Structure 1
Amino acid sequence: MSDFRAVRYRRLALMMVFALAVYVLVRAANTPQGHTPPPAGKTVATPTPSAGSPSASRSSAAPSSYDPADYASQVRTRAREAGVSARLVMAILYNEAYKPHDPALERAWQKIKPGAAFGIADMHRATFDEVKKGRDFADRDWTELPDDRDLAIEAEAWYLHDLAARLPAQWSAPYTKDELLALGYDAGPDTMLAFARGATPGTDAQAYLDRLHANWAKAKTALGS
């Protein structure tokens, strides 16, 4: 790892520790009197939501309990609706699972870094507001993403759909369609098109692509196909 990336990751780690401290204070302040939290080290199980259930889109789990594979049903449904690869949607969820996805922690982190993304698919406000136009979730708000994992998956799938619509019929770069869409998801449509024309990914984009490759088999297993 280069010195630049080492410094970058150390800084990110420190910011996440601070966000976690804010999260703990927020949770402590919001704990009702007379309520005793679980003993240290004990995890309270959160039922895995099923597609179509009233609670499926509003599930919340402890930071350590999140596994994208638990949402395979929602991934298949939303990918089919958007006409994109379910395996790609799942692989991107694994790519974005590097940080804790707890609603209170995400909001605490957003107070420190206002430009941070929300939800298990790590989507920024401007992207969500653009993607939702004319869609079934047009009346939903970006601030709902941390609490609504099905909404996060739905928005991710349709964003991939929109990125795919911007790709040319052919490109000179040695990337597959899924690789370009993943790069576009990470770096934006204009950068995706630059990669399609042959531009070389920078350090961050290449790292994202490497993680996609590492998560590709895992995504297939998670979907059961």
Structure 2
Amino acid sequence: MTEGGGIVAVDKPRKWWPWVVLATLVVAGWAAGGRGHGPDAADRSAPPSATSGSARPSSGAPSTSAEPSASASDGLARYAPQVKRYATRAGIDPQALMAILYNEDYKPHDPAFQRAWQKLKPDAAFGIANMHKAAFDETKRGRDFAGRDWDELPDDTGLAIESAAWYLHDLAAQLPAHRSTSLTVNQLIALGYNTGAGNMLAFARGVTPGSQAQSYLDQLTSNWAAAGRDVRGSG
């Protein structure tokens, strides 16, 4: 996620090798005496290019497992019960939230690694859902996690999933009843999560997603079936 207009953002790299290089640098930093946590979780720094036209539809999918852990190597499916619980409370589609978590799983989510990375890049995002501080602080207002802090996200997967669910709820609430696009609500809020509410509303008016946004939609589509299996299998 990247920040734009008080919303959140998401980092675009989707390959693990840059994070392997980063991990090497972080470990070297630890050896030299520094400690911390973390990868940059969601940097949507550049909004997608927008050209008039109709947006292409898309969907999304993941894998299967059962409970929380801060390690990406454990598999995202273990978080499906939490995804289902918090998505239902927020009134959004659990499959959409699960697919977005898969989209965001392009770097390590180990808490120590996240904090170490955040020391190198202070505007980095935190947690399994890659949320920036501004987005978290905005989303928590008036909610039952209003007393929680953004820097708790790396250690509390439940909080990270709950705040992402309500952020998606808030994005959906901004969508107009009448839209000039073939994109579904789930696709639009996924784009909002990735590019910000302003761009999401432009897409809802019929603006064509740029290459970055389209790539996020394509990932959502490829993750969609697995996400559905995860949430259906979570009981």
TM-score by structure 1 length? Answer: 0.77
Matched with 2:5 is: none
Which residue among 18, 22, 25 is the counterpart of 2:26? 22
Are the structure 2 counterparts of residues 12 and 80 from structure 1 closer, same or farther at C-alpha, using a change threshold of 3 Å?
A: closer
Are the structure 2 counterparts of residues 17 and 191 from structure 1 closer, same or farther at C-alpha, using a change threshold of 3 Å?
A: same
Residue 112 of structure 1, CA deviation: 2.1
Matched with 2:135 is: 127
SS of residue in 2 equivalent to 1:69: helix
CA distance in 2, matches of 1:30, 1:117: 20
Preserved contact between residue 19 and residue 107 of structure 2 (Cα < 8 Å): no
Q: Matched residue pairs, number?
A: 193
The one-letter code sitting in structure 2 at the alignment partner of 1:64 is S
Preserved contact between residue 180 and residue 195 of structure 1 (Cα < 8 Å): yes
Residue 21 of structure 1, CA deviation: 2.9
Comparing both chains, which one has the higher relative contact order based on Cα–Cα distances under 8 Å and sequence gaps of 6 or more? 2
SS of residue in 2 equivalent to 1:215: helix
Alpha carbon RMSD of aligned pairs, Å? Answer: 2.7
SS of residue in 2 equivalent to 1:156: helix
CA distance in 2, matches of 1:11, 1:72: 23
Residue 10 of structure 1, CA deviation: 11
Are 2:75 and 1:71 equivalent residues in the alignment?
Answer: no
More helix by share: 1
Alignment of 1:128-143 (within 5 A): 128-143=136-151
Same amino acid, percent of matched pairs:
55
Are 2:117 and 1:109 equivalent residues in the alignment?
Answer: yes
CA distance in 1, matches of 2:138, 2:91: 18
Q: Which has the larger radius of gyration?
A: 1
Q: Which runs of 5+ in 1 are unaligned?
A: 1-7, 32-47, 50-55
Preserved contact between residue 16 and residue 106 of structure 2 (Cα < 8 Å): no
Q: Which runs of 5+ in 2 are unaligned?
A: 1-11, 36-65
Alignment of 1:38-53 (within 5 A): 49=67
SS of residue in 1 equivalent to 2:227: helix
Residue 180 of structure 1, CA deviation: 0.3
Residue 224 of structure 1, CA deviation: 2.2
Are the structure 2 counterparts of residues 64 and 12 from structure 1 closer, same or farther at C-alpha, using a change threshold of 3 Å?
A: closer
